[in-house]
Structures are given as C-alpha cells and as structure tokens.
Chain A
Amino acid sequence: MIRWALAIVIVAHALSGHAYVMAWRSNLSLWTWAQQQAPLNTRAQFNYGRYLLAAGHEAEGLHALAYASALERLR
C-alpha cells in the first residue's frame, strides 16, 4: 500500500514539477510565472512589465507597468 502511495507522490512531483522547471527558462518566463502566482505582488508585476518591454511586447509591457504602478499606490 505504502509503496503505491510513494510511487504516486514521486510521479506527481515529476509530472507537475515539469511546468515549474519550464518557468526557469528565461527571465520573462520566470516573471510571467511569478506574476501569475501572486497577482498582487508589485515587484513581480514590475519585473514582468520590464521583461515584456525588453522582449518587444510594448503594449502588454506598458499595461503591466501601469497595473504595477496602480498596485504600488494602493499599498
């Protein structure tokens, strides 16, 4: 019984961890993940906007920075 439970836990970690490893591919993917996990985290929102701009996504980057500024004012 415990063998099967452990096997399931090990497989679940490996399968679900795959997506989190993907987040570490680049700064943009990392901060995309961070801002999705914590939408109220100002620093994550600022970094997300910054790296979106650096990647050439101007409209989305500016939108994210405006959202981050609004969050900052609310704190």
Chain B
Amino acid sequence: MTPMQRYIFVGAVLLLFAYEYQSSPSSEFVYQDYRWSDACAERAGTVPTSGIRTWPRSLMRLSWCWQDGQSPRAYHVVNLALHLIVSVLVGLLVWRLCGIEFAAWAGGALFLVHRMNIEAVAYASGRSELIAAIGIVGACLAVLSERWLLAAACVLFGVLGKESAVVAVAVLPLMLMAKGLRRHAVVMSVAVMLGVVLVMTRDGWPTPSVEWGMVQAMAAMRFSAMLFLPLGQTVDFDYALMPQFIVLAGSGLFIGAALLGWRLGKCPTMLSLAVGWLVITVLPRLFVVTPGMPFSEHQFYTPAISFPLAVGHVIHAYTDTGKL
C-alpha cells in the first residue's frame, strides 16, 4: 500500500467507527454499570461490598475510581479509546504472524467495527474485557519479539483488568509455535498444565457440570457463527429455550473445532492459530461456572480475535496465489 492509500484507508475506517459508535458517548449507565460506579464507595466502606474487590480486577476498579464523579460520557470515551488500542494491537499481531501489511490493516479494521465487539465497548462495564485483551495481545506481540519480561508484564496487566486474561499463558505457546520454537511451546504448555494442576489442587477443582459445559460450548459456537454473520445479537439470549439437539450439535462442533485445531497445529498456519485461539480462550469457560447467565457477547471479546486471524489466513492464501 502506498502512503496515500494508507491515509485514505485509516481515514475511512475511523469515519465508519465514529458513525457506528456515535451514540455511545451520550449513553447512560446500563445493566450492571451502577455496581462498578459503587466500587469507590465500597473502597471507602460507605456501601456494602458487592464481591468485586478481588485483586485481579484492581486496575478496572482503579480506572472507575479515577473517573468517579464524571459523567457516563467520560467512561464511554475511555472504552472507545481502549477498543481503538486493542484493534491496533490486533492489526500488529496479524502483521507479525502472516507478514502481510494489507492483512494487518484489514484485520485491525474488521476488529474495530465488528458488531460482535459492540457489547464490550458500548457497555461501560465491558472495560475489563478491553484491558484484558490489551494484556493478552500485548503479551503475544512481546513473545513474538522474544521480550519475555514484557510478556509477563502484559499478562499481569491483563489479569489486573480481568482474571480471565490468565488464559494468555495458554495462548502464548501458539505464538511460540508460529515462531518455530516448537520445543519452547511444548515446555511452556507442560508448565501451564502443571500450574493449573497446582492451583486447582490448592484452591479446589471446579465441580464438573456436563450440562453447563455443553451450553457454554454451544454458546461459543453460536458466537463463532456470529463472527461471520452477526444476526440475533441480544444482551439476554435465553439458552434454556434451546432444544437439546442444538446444544448437542453445538458441543459436537466445539469438539470438532478443537480436534481440527490440534490436527492443523502440526503444521502451523494462520488458520490453525485462529482455531487454536478460539478453542483455548473459550475452554476455561466450559469448566468455570459463573453466576447469572452463561456466555455473554462481551465475554467473547478475546475469543473474537480469532476472526482477524482467520481473515489473515484468507488474505495469505490469496497472496500466495497472486490474486490479491
């Protein structure tokens, strides 16, 4: 791409982004936002705790306290800025992995305007997902540059946004595989598995719930399909209404995706990375039972990064055949 093409592309994408989210800054707090707005009062001890005082979300809580007293507009603007940062990092990740500049621009732009990310961005409480994603993608970029300490710092940054960012340590072996450091990837995978066993032995293994795992797997497959065709988006999808055969089919598809990722992983490509990313980032949610409803769209923010990776694969394939 020439510099002029780059300017035009970035300008056009930012205009589309501004159009898509133009109503977000003037939005009120919704849903569970008021819980977070009480976080500072909780810290001062003036209201009862709501169970969000755990250290993994301290950066999230700090950011809300920092903005305490400001209008919802300020919170939404920060979320939009964080989403912009994540999209740039995703573009850089695609670039580092497939080495094609156009794929980076396309992947970053798609992630920026993708409908599946709206809940994490327009919902002020979705900020924890944005911070976690910065940590995870930042750690991946650091590993690809062999900056190990920076990678560790990024993982910690993500976990301080949301505990689910700890999944980064399971994603990093994928980056090592992509870099050709297969032995490093195996050692890290074994270390991650040992770490999980140690932590679970100390804190207690989650009670396995086959029903929960199947509904989560089906939800993950529903969201994966919505990455390609985002229809039927809603804040409160009623999974209890889904017929059993759809839950079974969704679970089967997820297992199929995991097996496909494993098979493709023998010869790492952008597609195997995309499938691996999706499966690894979703996997903990099959075992950890969260209160309230199953999978929400904002919780799919990090797994959704698999989509720009898949787009990178398609562009890579076209480039190879000279059709780009």
CB-CB under 8 A from A25, the residues of chain B are 23, 26-28
Bound Cα distance from A3 to B323, whole angstroms: 10
User: Which chain B residue shows the least CB distance to A36?
Assistant: B234
Return chain A residues, CB-CB under 8 Å to B123.
24
What separation, in Å, do the CA atoms of A25 and B21 have in the docked complex? 11
Please indicate the chain A residues that have their CB under 8 angstroms from the CB of B233 in the complex: 20, 37
- Counting chain B CB atoms within 10 Å of each CB, which of A20, A26, A41 scores highest? A20
Contact pattern, B 100-113, Cβ under 8 Å of A = 1, otherwise 0:
00100010011001
B24 within 8 A of A: yes
Known: A21-B118, A24-B30. A41 touches B23 (CB 8 A): no
Q: Given A14-B19, A21-B23, do A40 and B238 touch, yes or no (CB 8 Å)?
A: yes
The listed residue (B28, B109, B122, B238) touching A21 by CB distance below 8 A is B122
Is A41 in contact with B238, judged by CB distance below 8 angstroms? yes
Cα A30 to Cα B27 in complex, Å, equals 11
Interchain nearest-CB distance for B323 vs A (Å): 7
* Contact partners of A16 in chain B: CB under 8 A: 115, 230
Whole-angstrom CA separation of A17 from B19 in the bound complex: 9
- Report the bound CA distance from A11 to B113 in whole Å: 8
B107, closest chain A residue (CB) = A6
Residue of B nearest to A37 (CB): B234
Distance to closest chain B CB from A12 (angstroms): 9
Q: Which of B82-107 contact A (CB under 8 A)?
A: 102, 106
> A1-31 interface mask toward B, CB cutoff 8 Å, 1 = contact, 0 = none?
1110010011101111110111111110011
Q: Which residues of B1-40 have CB atoms within 8 Å of chain A's CB atoms? A: 13, 16-17, 19-24, 26-28, 30-31
**What's the Cα separation between A66 and B111 when bound, in Å?**
41
Question: Do B118 and A44 have beta carbons less than 8 Å apart?
Answer: no
Interface status of B311 (Cβ within 8 A of chain A): yes
User: A38, B19: Cβ atoms under 8 Å?
Assistant: no
| Distance in Å: Cβ of B105 to nearest Cβ of chain A | 9
Q: How far is the CA of A58 from the CA of B267 in the complex (A)?
A: 62
Given A13-B115, A14-B19, A16-B115, are A2 and B314 also a contact pair (CB < 8 Å)?
Answer: yes
> Considering only CB atoms, which chain B residue lies closest to A47 in the complex?
B236
Does chain A have a CB within 8 A of B287?
no
8 Å CB interface, A16-67 against B: 16-18, 20-27, 30-31, 33-34, 37-38, 40-44, 47
Q: Is the CB of B30 within 8 A of A6?
A: no
Q: Which residue of B lies closest to A22 (CB)?
A: B23
User: Which of A2, A18, A44 is B318 in contact with, Cβ under 8 Å?
Assistant: A2
Give the shortest distance, in Å, between B309 (CB) and chain A (any CB). Answer: 15
Q: Are B110 and A6 in contact (CB under 8 A)?
A: yes
Q: Are the CB atoms of B122 and A43 closer together than 8 Å? A: no
Check A43/B238 contact, CB under 8 A, given A9-B110, A11-B16: yes
Q: Does B232 contact A (CB under 8 A)?
A: yes
Chain B contacts of A43 at CB under 8 A?
236, 238
B interface list, Cβ under 8 A from A: 13, 16-17, 19-24, 26-28, 30-31, 102, 106, 109-110, 113-115, 118-119, 122-123, 230, 232-238, 241, 311, 314-315, 318, 323-324
Which 5 interchain pairs have the tightest Cβ spacing? A14-B16, A37-B234, A24-B122, A41-B238, A17-B115
- Can you report 23 A-B residue pairs in the complex whose CB atoms are below 8 A from each other? A2-B315, A2-B323, A3-B102, A3-B324, A6-B106, A6-B110, A10-B109, A10-B113, A14-B20, A16-B230, A21-B23, A23-B235, A24-B27, A24-B30, A24-B118, A25-B23, A25-B27, A30-B31, A33-B234, A34-B235, A37-B232, A37-B234, A44-B238
Known: A10-B110, A15-B19, A20-B118. 16 other contacts (CB 8 A): A6-B110, A15-B16, A17-B115, A20-B233, A21-B22, A23-B235, A24-B24, A24-B118, A24-B123, A25-B23, A26-B30, A27-B31, A31-B235, A31-B236, A37-B232, A41-B237
